[in-house]
C-alpha cells in the first residue's frame, strides 16, 4: 500500500463518520456550528496522530496481553493535554464542546487505529494514517456543521448567508438535536445512492 | 440546589442522554435491532452506570482532590471503569449465574460506552453530592433504557416497511431517531428544567 493510499484511506474511503459510522457521539453533538465541528475535529486529529506516533514507536515494547490498557493510557494522556491546552487558549470553544473534549478518549476511531494499524506498522505510516483518519473526521464534522449552521442559524462561521430575513427566522431545529440526526441520515442516504458503488 | 426528584426527571426525560446529549449512540444504533437485546443492554447500562457513578465519585473526592491530581481525571476514570466492568463480569459469572446469562454479553461492550464515562464526568462537572450523583446516574440509565427499547420497537417495524433502498439501514434509523428527538424536545422546559 503506497503512502498516499494510507493517507486517503482514512480521509475518504474509510471515512470514520460517513462510511464506518464510528465516532458518532461527538460528530452529532459538536456539529451544530462550523467552528465547533472544526475545533472538535482538530482536537481528535491531534490525539489520533500523537497516539499513533507513540504507539508505533513503542510497538515492539508493548506486551501483547496488556496492550489495550496501555493504548488507552497513551490516548488519555494526549486527551488530557488537548483538554488543558484548549481550556487555556480557546476557552470559548472549550465551553461549547463541554464534556466531549475529555470524552475523545472513548472515541472508538482512535483506539481502532491504534489496534489495527499503529501497533503493527512503521512510524511514518502510522502518522500518515492518523493524519488521514483525523482529517477525515474533521472533514465530516465540518460538512455537517456547515449544513446545520447555514440552515439552523442562517450564518457560516458567524457571517450572514441568506440575508437578514432568513437569519431572523431560520430552521431552528437544525441546530438542535433532531437536526443532527436528520442531517447525518440524509447525507448517509445520499452517499449510499451516489457514492458507494465507486468506493 | 435541585431536589433529587428534579435531578431524576431532568436526566430521564428533559436532558435524555441519547437524544439530547448524544452520548451512548454506538449501542443505541448497534444493539437496537430487537426489543429483547435492547432491554438487556438497557439493564446492563443502568447497573454499570450506577456502580461507576459511585466508584468514580469516591475516587475523585477521596483520592484525586486531596492529592491535587485532578488533571489525571480522564486516565483514572477510564481505567477505573474498565476494571470495574471486568470485576463485575467475573463476580456475576461466579455468584449470580442467571443475571450473568442475561447481561453477560453486554458488559464488555459497555467499557467503551461513552454514556458511562460521560455521566461520571457530568457528575463531577455539576458538583453533585453522592446521593445526587446516584440519582442522576439511575435517571440517566433509565432514560437510556426507555429510549433504546422504544427505538428497537420502531426498528422492528422499519424492517418490514417498504423503504427506498438507499434509505435502508442506517439512514432511516437516523431519521427515525430524529423524529424521536423532536418528540423529546417537547419535554424541554418541563418543571422549569432546561
What ranges do the domains of chain B cover?
A: 4-184
Q: What is the mean pLDDT of residues B84-88?
A: 85
Longest CA pairwise span in chain B (Å): 60
Q: How confident is the model at residue B1 (pLDDT cuts 50, 70, 90)?
A: low
For chain B, the straight-line distance linking the first and the last C-alpha, in angstroms and rounded, comes to 15
Q: What is the mean pLDDT of residues A4-24?
A: 87
Q: Tens digits of per-residue pLDDT, A111-142?
A: 889 988 999 999 999 999 999 999 999 999 99
Model confidence at A38: pLDDT above 90 = yes
Query: Which sign, positive or negative, has the C-alpha torsion B119, B125, B128, B132?
Result: negative
Q: How confident is the model at residue A144 (pLDDT cuts 50, 70, 90)?
A: very high
Q: Measured between beta carbons, which residues in chain A are less than 8 angstroms from residue B121?
A: 99, 102-103
Entry pTM: 0.89
Which residues 59-118 of B have a C-beta within 8 angstroms of A? Answer: 71-75, 78-79, 82, 112-114, 117-118
Full DSSP string of chain B: ---HHHHHHIIIIIT-TTTTT--SHHHHHHS-SSHHHHHHHHHHHHHHHHHHHHHHHHIIIIIITTTT-GGGHHHHHHHHHHHHHHHHHHHHHHH-HHHHHHHGGGHHHHTT-HHHHHHHHHHHHTT--HHHHHHHHHHHHHHHHHHHHHHHHHHHHHHHS---GGGTTHHHHHHHHHHHHHHHHTTTTGGG--
Angstrom distance (rounded) from CA A18 to CA A24? 9
Longest CA pairwise span in chain A (Å): 62
Q: Measured between beta carbons, which residues in chain A are less than 8 angstroms from residue B26?
A: 22, 24-25, 108
pLDDT at position B192 is 66
pLDDT at position A187 is 93
Residue of A nearest to B16 (CA): A177
Angstrom distance (rounded) from CA B179 to CA A5? 39
| Range among A47-51, A160-164, B122-126 rated most confident | A47-51
pLDDT at position B112 is 65
Q: What is the mean pLDDT of residues B132-160?
A: 93
CB pairs under 8 A between A and B: 116
What is the average pLDDT score of chain A? 90
Numbered residues of chain A with Cβ closer than 8 Å to any chain B Cβ: 21-22, 24-26, 28-29, 69, 72-73, 76-77, 79-80, 83-84, 98-99, 102-103, 105-108, 111, 173, 176-182, 184-186, 188-190, 192-193
- Tell me the three cell numbers of residue B35: 426489543
- Cβ separation of A25 and B185 shorter than 8 Å? no
Q: Measured between beta carbons, which residues in chain A are less than 8 angstroms from residue B167?
A: 189, 192
Say which of B71, B121, B171 has its CB closest to residue A192: B171
Q: Tens digits of per-residue pLDDT, A64-85?
A: 888 888 998 999 999 999 999 9
Q: Measured between beta carbons, which residues in chain A are less than 8 angstroms from residue B164?
A: 189
Full DSSP string of B153-183: HHHHHHHHS---GGGTTHHHHHHHHHHHHHH
Q: What is the mean pLDDT of residues B25-38?
A: 85
Taking a C-beta distance cutoff of 8 angstroms, is the pair A127, A41 a contact? no
Angstrom distance (rounded) from CA A120 to CA A117? 6
Q: Does any CB of chain A come closer than 8 Å to the CB of residue B26?
A: yes
- Tell me the three cell numbers of residue A135: 482529517
Say which of B19, B73, B170 has its CB closest to residue A177: B19
Q: What is the mean pLDDT of residues B151-162?
A: 91
Query: Between the CA of residue A143 and those of A11, A92, A180, B74, what are the distances in Å?
Result: 13, 21, 12, 29
Q: CB atoms < 10 A from the CB of B185, how many?
A: 16
Least Cα separation, residue B99 to chain A (angstroms): 27
Least Cα separation, residue A77 to chain B (angstroms): 7
Percentage of chain A beyond pLDDT 70 is 97
- Say which residues have a Cβ less than 8 Å from residue A197's Cβ, sequence separation at least 6: none
Q: Measured between beta carbons, which residues in chain A are less than 8 angstroms from residue B81?
A: none
For residue A159, which phi and psi values (nearest 5 degrees)?
Answer: -90, 135
Q: Which residue has the cell 467475573?
A: B90
Overall size of chain B counted in residues? 194
Model confidence at B190: pLDDT above 80 = no
Model confidence at B21: pLDDT above 70 = yes
Q: Measured between beta carbons, which residues in chain B are less than 8 angstroms from residue A179?
A: 178
Model confidence at A197: pLDDT above 70 = no
Taking a C-beta distance cutoff of 8 angstroms, is the pair B103, B92 a contact? yes
Least Cα separation, residue A1 to chain B (angstroms): 30
Model confidence at B89: pLDDT above 70 = yes
Regarding predicted confidence, which is higher, B193 or B137? B137
What is the average pLDDT score of chain B? 87
For chain A, the straight-line distance linking the first and the last C-alpha, in angstroms and rounded, comes to 16
- Cβ separation of B167 and A25 shorter than 8 Å? no
Q: Which of A48-52, A104-108, B47-51, B112-116 has the lowest mean pLDDT?
A: B112-116
Amino acid at each position: 500500500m503506497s503512502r498516499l493510499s494510507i493517507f486517503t484511506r482514512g480521509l475518504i474511503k474509510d471515512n470514520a463518520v460517513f462510511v464506518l459510522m464510528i465516532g458518532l457521539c461527538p460528530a452529532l453533538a459538536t456539529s451544530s456550528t462550523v467552528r465547533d465541528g472544526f475545533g472538535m475535529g482538530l482536537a481528535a486529529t491531534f490525539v489520533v496522530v500523537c497516539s499513533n506516533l507513540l504507539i508505533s514507536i513503542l510497538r515492539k515494547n508493548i506486551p501483547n496481553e496488556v496492550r489495550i490498557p496501555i493504548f488507552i493510557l497513551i490516548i488519555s494522556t494526549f486527551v488530557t493535554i488537548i483538554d488543558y491546552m484548549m481550556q487555556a487558549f480557546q476557552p470559548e470553544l472549550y465551553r461549547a464542546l463541554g464534556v466531549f473534549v475529555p470524552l475523545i478518549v472513548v472515541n472508538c476511531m482512535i483506539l481502532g487505529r491504534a489496534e489495527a494499524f499503529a501497533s503493527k506498522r512503521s512510524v511514518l505510516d502510522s502518522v500518515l494514517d492518523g493524519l488521514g483518519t483525523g482529517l477525515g473526521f474533521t472533514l465530516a464534522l465540518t460538512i455537517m456543521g456547515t449544513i446545520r449552521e447555514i440552515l439552523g442559524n442562517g450564518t457560516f462561521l458567524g457571517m450572514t448567508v441568506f440575508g437578514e430575513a432568513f437569519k431572523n427566522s431560520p430552521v431552528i431545529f437544525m441546530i438542535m438535536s433532531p437536526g443532527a440526526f436528520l442531517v447525518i441520515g440524509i447525507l448517509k442516504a445520499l452517499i449510499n445512492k451516489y457514492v458507494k458503488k465507486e468506493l | 440546589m435541585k431536589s433529587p426528584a428534579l435531578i431524576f426527571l431532568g436526566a430521564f426525560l428533559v436532558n435524555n442522554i441519547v437524544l439530547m446529549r448524544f452520548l451512548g449512540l454506538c449501542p443505541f444504533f448497534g444493539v437496537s435491532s430487537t426489543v429483547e437485546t435492547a432491554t438487556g443492554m438497557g439493564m446492563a447500562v443502568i447497573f454499570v452506570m450506577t456502580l461507576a457513578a459511585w466508584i468514580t465519585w469516591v475516587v475523585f473526592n477521596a483520592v484525586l482532590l486531596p492529592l491535587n491530581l485532578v488533571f489525571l481525571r480522564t486516565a483514572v476514570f477510564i481505567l477505573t471503569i474498565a476494571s470495574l466492568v471486568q470485576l463485575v463480569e467475573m463476580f456475576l459469572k461466579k455468584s449470580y449465574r442467571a443475571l450473568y446469562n442475561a447481561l453477560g454479553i453486554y458488559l464488555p461492550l459497555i467499557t467503551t460506552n461513552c454514556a458511562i464515562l460521560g455521566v461520571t464526568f457530568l457528575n463531577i462537572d455539576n458538583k453533585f453530592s453522592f446521593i445526587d450523583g446516584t440519582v442522576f446516574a439511575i435517571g440517566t440509565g433509565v432514560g437510556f433504557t426507555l429510549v433504546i427499547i422504544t427505538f428497537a420497537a420502531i426498528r422492528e417495524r422499519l424492517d418490514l416497511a417498504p423503504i427506498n433502498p438507499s434509505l435502508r439501514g442506517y439512514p432511516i434509523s437516523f431519521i427515525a431517531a430524529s423524529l424521536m428527538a423532536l418528540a423529546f424536545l417537547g419535554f424541554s422546559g418541563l418543571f422549569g428544567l432546561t
